[in-house]
A and B are shown apart, each in its own frame.
Chain A
């Protein structure tokens, strides 16, 4: 069974840092691109970042470029999102999603349950 499990969320002060993890199981992790998507309380979905299957290619939303870094450890079947200089507007549930196809699209067939990040003093 394919599973994605996020962890690492919590309460952090503005300007602080957090590192989210997404542990994968039930599939060949190294064969799939993975994305991060977030959802602020009561708001819509916002794409955050993507990383290719090998980890060579990474992409970021303008809103997090320069502050967030996505990486993966294929030997540990784990995806990471290092978040620095956090702002109140980064408060959201963060989901990791497995990319379904290899084309330029936003088709994520499996999602984690999400981890809540709250940025507040």
Chain B
């Protein structure tokens, strides 16, 4: 049981938009920045979003992040088959003094 809650799977057609939610509490998302990762099969995770809504250099603006209260959302527009991957949200939990991840969401581009 993960501290952060993500839907197990989402799907959409190529070219469409998809959003992935990440729900937490006041001690984690509610008081700290959220990061999002993309993990392709057999590879290490790749940072997509940091500070809840910023993109590292090299990440296309098709990827966006937002946060409201104790929830965060990753948005991906112009879906491509290469976007098929597992996506994870993560943040620090101030009550646990520990890092926490969501359980991951598998994106299928139909």
Chain A residues near B (Cβ < 8 Å): 35, 37, 44-47, 50, 59-62, 95, 97, 100-101, 103-109, 111-114
Contact = CB atoms under 8 A, between A and B. Distances in A.
Interface residues of B, number: 29
Contacts, number: 82
Contacts of B99: 35, 37, 47, 50, 59, 61, 106
Contact of B2 (A44, A50, A101): A44
B96 A62 contact: yes
B32 interface: yes
B44 A107 contact: no
Contact of B51 (A44, A47, A60, A101): A101
Interface in B78-110: 86, 88, 90-92, 94, 96-104
B101 A103 contact: no
Given A45-B88, A47-B90, A50-B99, A113 B44 contact: yes
Contacts of A111: 44-46
A47 B98 contact: yes
A73 B67 CA distance: 37
B2 A107 contact: no
A103 B94 contact: no
Given A44-B104, A47-B90, 10 more contacts: A37-B45, A62-B98, A95-B45, A105-B35, A105-B50, A105-B51, A106-B100, A107-B50, A108-B35, A108-B45
Interface string B22-60: 000000000011110101000011110011000010000
